Structure 1
């Protein structure tokens, strides 16, 4: 049975796309939240530094440098939360330090009206602003590492949350994929083996309210109708065969009675030819019915049972060995032991005998016919006859296609190989004409797709 690999399943692809979308959404949201937090953090830091500068400037206007230094020392006396420590530096016009918790003026930092982010000599990142005083310069800054830590925590939270979402979607998708694949698998199995039990199970799908449930129910009803049509077609063809065969056999019996009245030679010859034609029509009719029956049941396991091909071909070979001695042919066979196959014994027998009859028909007296059976199974019938003309090779298995014999005439009804192919396909096998330098070689084995799957 052909099965879709899990990696090739449409449900697996949907889950993969869902996971990819989740990852993209988490990344985009993380980037947006991070950018927004960074923007708010910058605005907050700038506002805090500007407020600090404004307050200190007011203290300077009221009490001068002495009051400003006192206010700075008061602020440094308070313990600030980690990552938000303030940094001050008050210097006179000569650059001498009046007060503050920095050892020197940050290199390259000039007086400005807007705070900006800089790195202090020890590597600490701060938002800073400097202002010019009549008696010196004031440097004000606040550490920004807390906001960076918070931003990192937010990033970590999004990564962890994203991984959890991806894992949850993956697990839920996996469970859903397995469940849906099983349901679709039942539909596929019903198409491959439409037996009544499997179709009854489809009709009782517990999840029949969704789309797949509707597909399952419709599949069950459709295959049931097809089975009924096939059964009706088989009954009709069997009835036609019976209705046509019976009068033909009665006609043959009347001709046989006429022959027993000892007519003249010309009449007897005509009646014998008529009997031969009638039997040919009966044989052709039976072959056509067998072909239709086999094609109608192609892929249907009903009626198939384990068959010991080795034993079956041994019996066929023993029968043809005696016939070959009478016709002056050499017949050889090589049968691998213990080869079994699921099929109909009578049909498989007819498949092999049709190939052998075809070989003995076209191989001249003294020629060789070989029958082999190998594991697989692989049945081969080869001969040393004239072979199949190149222009007939593509159509040799068509109905009413006759290959020319040694004398240039066409024998038979042209249904032997067509029936052999129909029987082979009914059993999931393929019959092939193998290219050879001499004679003809027919191989019967598993269809290529099924052989590759078994391998």
Structure 2
């Protein structure tokens, strides 16, 4: 099964198989052409032999008479060549009655037009015959048996079979060797794309010292990856610097507001300062979420840095933490977690994914509602509830940035929680979706569907 999958998924293996099949078809076609050529040559030689023999008999009759011709036919039959084509004769009158020769029945050929055709002689052997009219009451038939070519054809078939097998083996060996070399060279390019670290880029540079198309592709790929890596590093450095420069003054402003809140005695002023602090902390959280989304989207499909994470233990631990909050908020939290579900990922990011889904459920489900956290192998993570659900007109854009679901409880938040969940899921080759349902919301995180 693995070998069949390799042939199906590798273009080089498909080329080798195609080349072997082409060699087999060409060899078979040449064998058929050779057989047809041998048989056609044999028939042409037989036709010439019959015509020459018949012409000789006509000359004998022209220079002698019927008795002389009958005598010569008898001599010819008595002196049949051992290795030649056996000859048969029939000298007959106008009604086809035999006068001389070894054939007894006239085969129906029209002697007046010197008709020729394949006939069956006594014993069932196939022969080529030609008839001619010698006189008003005399006609002659000359027939030569087809030479037995079965031994020759078997030898030719054996030669082509041996040559075909050797040709296919040579094509397979040469093609497989070339394909293996090409696959190895392209594997270095793919490895550099999958994990564009310094070691992979150096390996790509070392492998592109030649001057063919693959080397040119490897060199361009290495240069492009190096430029993208530098750009990504510069982008991360810039965003981190901008985030730091924005977060620091906001934190300073928050600290000043704390001091102002402690010093003021006016209730109205204190309330406005508290509202300002809340907005500042919301801006900080929004900034951090945007940075997290950008980081996850930038590393989508990158396997570097992923380690085995026991998702069952992580989900159970988070479920226990949220169980206490559920009692305080008047919700019911049900955990249905299958053990030993492991995934290659980042534990901190996966924690953010689960907590965002649970926070979203607790925020929109009214008091007394039920929230269920389910984990199955795959992995398949499901967070469902019996709350008001997501309105139909918002289902298509619920995972977009700054999209906020409306409910009777309000729409507080920046609308980045589910966008971050999608970015984290895609980083881990997972896909998050909102399952349709009559009541509540059901968010499912499962492996990406491969088209």
TM-score bracket for this pair, using the shorter chain length: 0.7 to 0.9
- SS of the residue aligned with 2:333? strand
How many aligned residue pairs are there?
Answer: 446
**TM-score (normalizing by structure 2):** 0.83
CA distance in 1, matches of 2:132, 2:334: 113
Does residue 391 (structure 1) correspond to residue 397 (structure 2)? The answer is no
> Which moves more between the two structures, 278-287 or 33-42?
33-42
CA distance in 2, matches of 1:182, 1:243: 47
- SS of the residue aligned with 2:403? coil
Picking from 329, 332, 336, the partner of 2:331 is 329
User: Per-residue displacement from partner, 1:405-439 (whole Å, max 9, x unpaired)?
Assistant: 324x3201111111121111111122222223322
User: Per-residue displacement from partner, 1:319-362 (whole Å, max 9, x unpaired)?
Assistant: 22232333333333233332222111111111111122222222
- Hey, what does 2:446 align to over in structure 1? 445
RMSD, matched Cα: 3.7
Unaligned runs of 5+ in 1: 451-455
- Hey, what does 2:429 align to over in structure 1? 428
Structure 1 residue 84: Cα displacement: 0.9
- Hey, what does 1:80 align to over in structure 2? 81
Does residue 107 (structure 1) correspond to residue 112 (structure 2)? The answer is no
Does residue 47 (structure 1) correspond to residue 48 (structure 2)? The answer is yes
User: Per-residue displacement from partner, 1:160-211 (whole Å, max 9, x unpaired)?
Assistant: 7567656665665566556655655554554444444444444444795543
- Hey, what does 1:299 align to over in structure 2? 301
Picking from 305, 317, 321, the partner of 1:319 is 321
Matches within 5 A, 1:19-418: 22=23, 25=26, 29=30, 33-34=34-35, 36-60=37-61, 64=65, 68=69, 71-82=72-83, 84-90=85-91, 100=101, 102-111=102-111, 113=114, 115-131=116-132, 137-146=139-148, 165=167, 169=171, 180=182, 184=186, 187-188=189-190, 190-205=192-207, 209-407=211-409, 409-418=410-419
- Hey, what does 1:453 align to over in structure 2? none
Contact 2:372 2:384 in 1 (8 A): yes
CA distance in 1, matches of 2:140, 2:327: 124
CA distance in 2, matches of 1:242, 1:105: 115
Unaligned runs of 5+ in 2: none
Cα pair distance change 1:53/1:392, threshold 3 Å:
closer
Contact 1:305 1:343 in 2 (8 A): yes
Structure 1 residue 287: Cα displacement: 0.8
Cα pair distance change 1:259/1:183, threshold 3 Å:
same
- SS of the residue aligned with 1:400? coil
Cα pair distance change 1:88/1:246, threshold 3 Å:
same
Cα pair distance change 1:363/1:110, threshold 3 Å:
closer
Contact 1:82 1:146 in 2 (8 A): no
Structure 1 residue 363: Cα displacement: 2.3
Contact 2:6 2:13 in 1 (8 A): no
> Which moves more between the two structures, 105-114 or 145-154?
145-154
**TM-score (normalizing by structure 1):** 0.82
CA distance in 2, matches of 1:380, 1:4: 32
Cα pair distance change 1:148/1:225, threshold 3 Å:
same
Contact 2:128 2:145 in 1 (8 A): yes
Contact 2:208 2:218 in 1 (8 A): no
